[in-house]
Chain A
Amino acid sequence: MQELIKAKAIELLENGTVDRVLGWKAGEFFYDLTPAVFTSREEIEKDFVYSVFSGANLSKYLVKESRKDGKVAAFLKPCDTYSFNQLLKEHRIWRDHVHVVGIACDGMCDMEKIRAYGAKGVLSVERDGDTLKLETLYGPMTMNKADAEAERCICCKSRKLVAYDEKIGEDGDVIENSGRFDMVAKLEAMTPDERYAFWQGELSKCIRCNACRDVCPACTCEKCVFDNPKSGIAQKAAVNSFEESMYHIIRAFHVASRCTDCGECSRVCPQNIPLHLLNRKFIKDINELYGEYQSGADLETRPPLMNFTQEDCEPSVVYERGGKQA
């Protein structure tokens, strides 16, 4: 797969289709790949990597890259193409400056999970089908790839490429019953006190590094309200439990009905807060109350929060749903 992609990148550069290629660049280790722009065959041959650690969603980089002169090729995994579509819908990407190569994906791995599995000082990983062979400072070990997969990939919503100019590998399907709402449902079934304790535990870890926002493909404001002193809610640090709740509620609300559930927020959170559970709550509610909606699936459907029907349920529906009221 990596070889096919590298060959495609070189081909697109050399036949003049594009001037630049957006991909993942090798790092110090096998897992610390950095999104990077490549402009020559040499760079690609030397540093371009596509592996189970190419988790970073490249769509958001296209907001800036597509505004530059010339054309950029972007390699997008299925979930990245949803983000790409959503950004197109919001006029954030200049489509004619982008050549999208859709690439098949069978689930990305998460280094945190490998560490949590008990692997310390991991120096290299070799994938052999469904198993991973690890070389560590403290000796070799093996583990199932499934155990190393990122949460968002375990309950992947779709392996379908929804936007591309060309593709590499087999296109997959939308996955029904992905189970991605199971945890949300579990939380909903708790009592409010339990939920409150859960979220206080999680949100109190927040250090307001803003990584979740800065990586989020739905957060492409010129200036975030939390950075804008005039918004009245700008705040730099998690000073108080309220600030943390405020930040995460408002952020989730701002991306509600635009979030494609790419899971980048949770991937990058240095404090391992399951931020995707906030976004998925909105997605689940929208699906249940206003009909199934997947943002980024197409360019036409109105996002549910920018839409309505006369028969919509009343907000009092909340009193009847969810966990019991204490």
Chain B
Amino acid sequence: MQRIGVFVCWCGTNIAATVDVKAVAEALGKEPGVVFATDYQYMCSQAGQDMIRDAIKEHNLGGVVICSCSPRMHETTFRKTAEKAGLNPYMVEIANIREQCSWIHKDMPTATEKAVILGRAAIAKVHLNAPLTAGESPVTKRALVIGGGIAGIQTALDIADAGFPVDIVEKKPTIGGKMTQIDKTFPTLDCAACILTPKMVEAAQNENIRIFSYSEVDSVKGFVGNFHATIRRKARYVKEDVCTGCGLCTEKCPQKKVPNEFNLGLDNRRAIYIPFAQAVPKVATIDPNYCTMLKSGKCGVCAKVCTAGAIDYKQKDEFIEEDYGAIVVATGFNPIKLDRYDEYAYSQSPDVVTSLEFERLMNAAGPTAGTLLRPSDGEHPHTLVFVQCVGSRETRDCGKPYCSKICCMYTAKHAMLCREKYPDTEVYVFYIDVRTPGKNFDEFYRRAVEEYGVHYIKGMVGKVVPENGKLKVQASDLLSNEQIHIDADMVILAAAIEPDESARSIATMLTASMDTNDFFTEAHPKLRPVESPTAGIFLSGVCQGPKDIPETVAQAGAAASKVIGLLAKDHLMCNPCVAEANELMCNGCSSCEKVCPYGAITYSDKEFPGPNRTRVLRRVASVNPAVCQGCGACTVACPSGAMDLKGFSTSQIMAEVDAICK
């Protein structure tokens, strides 16, 4: 039996107004083992803490029960207090008589009675507490970045600059992400490629960075500081280290009718391809869905023309296993599919395009070599209609309830560029609101209107009907309270953006939580915006929420600094409340191992003393305390009761049950 001290906090009037704290202290003072019981206005104050410290020393207390606010609030505070008095911090238990008692009950006798019972339960538990010491786990000084867009690249570069090795895993054949497809950037109108490609090259050349392109993360196990990932390098049927990127194969390949995803299917590429000229790594990749050699075994042209001998039709997916201390998620976004928006005729007319497609049509490296031409007939368009908020701010199921944030600005950019390059065009922008919070953003939008004469119309497009080579646009002009009709040559839809489809499975793999829109949730929306609630997982870029490039880069840097802060530590303190196997009772049945989410349980054959001085060899479980996170799943899976959880042991919980049900 422990010598227990009970401290009842008034929390000003928060507790004392509904709980008779004196009566609680008096009642608990009569409990077996309690040698000291008192109450005080604010136990968490310095004076309150001193009181606890002095009582521990004076009464030689072995356990402390504090009846106060939630343990989520001040458990750490009081543990530290106990530690200062020379008591093991885990000999402190909190009875939550504020959030779970005084604040929910109005009647004083009822609340007081409940507070006494909660106090008794805590006393019953403390009697069975044992001193616990937190172990340490080493930190693997390497980071993994999932996603090789601008967010991933920037994070990797910043971490690498601090001297830590980083691996980037990118599922596409090249890093660069969405930004590679963008022509110009707002509000400066500088060329996206011009600012991105140097960063891509820098990442490729940085000694601390390894790039796994055309690869995916297959599985992640472990925990903060000690993740273990398996990376699948998909077979590209080209030896990456041998290919020189000369591109001869991509010219000779007879399979010419493959939709070019880099240009969003606006033109075609070959079955063997390099996505674009500045790709990193600049190596060819064979598309197994179109390659006749891979499909039917007949062809082999690329292998014949490749002077480097880089083609390998027999290549298999390769798996790389690596340990990491931290993981950054930078999985980015995609525009939503518009096939359910019949009113805009996106599926009916090639001249109705998304803004990202429009980027390619304006880009010098795009399908039209930078000249704006109508996809349907290659004619120069004269009337362009931009529609904003397509799928954004929608509560219908085909849309997204959030604002995609970047559309107002890129639409202004597109409109402005059209008018600049082709002054003969009429450009209409239909908007609900124009949102321009950002440095030089509103000025940029105003320039589109004032300098470039873009027609901004407050209202929405109701329908687009392709008719006689024109797109009949019917829309409302809310300011003039009119319905207007425009015969447009092209309609450009500002499609909402959504997290990449791989995000959900990655979140599950990393045990990181997501919101209903599949954006990763941050540990705290204001104070910890670049960390996931799961320790060791960090968020960079649009995977956390819609962002433009400067914001993405800023968040990427912030995530990197958090990673650097983690990797700079040699050890992390472990949670001492972990599972423990009693080898004498374990029968080695593996039930616990099957339910452990962390793989913290291993088995070994050990010799034990048997009856009559014999030795018995038995298979028994042991828990790696650095890996165990203390969920307790094993304790219930174990039929023998050989598994127990420190700090939440079976006997402790049963003692609490007994005290409550008395």
Contact = CB atoms under 8 A, between A and B. Distances in A.
Interface of A: 67, 89-92, 219-225, 228, 230-232, 254-255, 302-303, 305-307
Given A91-B619, A222-B584, A303-B594, A254 B589 contact: no
B641 A306 contact: no
A232 B587 contact: no
B537 interface: no
Interface residues of B, number: 23
28 contacts: A90-B588, A90-B589, A90-B590, A90-B591, A91-B588, A91-B590, A91-B603, A91-B619, A92-B587, A92-B589, A221-B585, A221-B587, A221-B640, A221-B642, A222-B584, A222-B586, A222-B587, A222-B618, A222-B640, A223-B585, A224-B640, A228-B641, A231-B641, A255-B639, A302-B594, A303-B594, A305-B637, A306-B594
A90 B590 CA distance: 6
A220 B587 contact: yes
B617 interface: yes
Given A230-B651, A231-B641, A231-B650, A306 B591 contact: yes
Contacts of A225: 639-641
Contact of A254 (B586, B617, B639): B639
B417 interface: no
B117 to A, nearest CB: 20
A67 B650 contact: no
Interface in B368-416: none
Contacts of B619: 91
A102 to B, nearest CB: 24
B619 to A, nearest CB: 5
A242 to B, nearest CB: 13
Interface centre among A67, A220, A231, A306 (most CB of B within 10 A): A306
Interface string B605-617: 0000000000011
A306 B654 contact: no
A219 B589 CA distance: 11
B434 interface: no
A219 B591 CA distance: 13
B585 A228 contact: yes
Contacts of A228: 585, 641
Contact of A221 (B603, B616, B639): B639
A208 to B, nearest CB: 18
Contacts of B590: 89-91
A232 B651 contact: yes
B51 interface: no
A228 B588 CA distance: 18
B595 interface: yes
A90 B640 CA distance: 13
A225 B636 CA distance: 12
Contacts of B591: 90, 303, 306
Q: List 4 tightest A-B contacts by C-beta distance, closest first.
A: A254-B639, A306-B594, A90-B589, A221-B640
A234 B616 CA distance: 25
Nearest to A253: B639
Contacts of A307: 594
Most-contacted residue by chain A among B588, B591, B640 (CB, 10 A): B640
A222 B588 CA distance: 9
A219 B586 CA distance: 13
Given A91-B588, A91-B590, A306 B650 contact: no
A254 B640 CA distance: 9
Interface of B: 584-591, 594-595, 603, 616-619, 637, 639-642, 650-651, 654
A230 B589 CA distance: 21
B214 to A, nearest CB: 29
A232 B657 CA distance: 12
A211 to B, nearest CB: 18
A225 B654 CA distance: 14
B251 to A, nearest CB: 48
A223 B585 CA distance: 6
B640 A223 contact: yes
Nearest to A234: B641
Nearest to A219: B639
A90 to B, nearest CB: 4
A64 to B, nearest CB: 10
Nearest to A226: B641
Contact of A91 (B589, B594, B595, B641): B589
A159 B641 CA distance: 35
Contacts of A222: 584-587, 618, 640, 642
Contacts of B589: 90-92, 220
A250 to B, nearest CB: 9
A220 B588 CA distance: 10
Nearest to B508: A310
Contacts of A230: 641, 651
A89 B588 CA distance: 11
A306 B639 CA distance: 12
B585 A67 contact: no
Contact of A306 (B584, B588, B595, B651): B595
Contacts of A67: 616-617
A227 B650 CA distance: 16
Which of B586, B587, B588: most chain A CB closer than 10 A? Answer: B587
A184 B540 CA distance: 55
B506 to A, nearest CB: 16
Nearest to B591: A306
Nearest to A251: B639
A306 B585 CA distance: 20
Nearest to B603: A91
Contacts of B642: 221-222
Contacts of B616: 67
A224 B640 CA distance: 6
A225 B588 CA distance: 16
A236 B618 CA distance: 27
Contacts of B587: 90, 92, 220-222
Contacts of A254: 639
Contacts of B586: 222
B103 to A, nearest CB: 29
B654 A232 contact: yes
Contacts of A302: 594
B585, B594, B595, B642: residue with the most chain A Cβ atoms closer than 10 Å = B585
B152 to A, nearest CB: 28
Contacts of B641: 225, 228, 230-231
Contacts of B617: 67
A228 B644 CA distance: 14
A305 B633 CA distance: 11
A254 B589 CA distance: 12
Nearest to B633: A306
Nearest to B588: A91
Contacts of A231: 641, 650
A255 B639 CA distance: 8
A224 B641 CA distance: 8
Contacts of B584: 222-223
A77 to B, nearest CB: 24
Contacts of A305: 637
Nearest to B618: A222
Given A221-B640, A232-B651, 8 more contacts: A90-B590, A91-B603, A92-B589, A219-B639, A221-B585, A222-B584, A225-B639, A254-B639
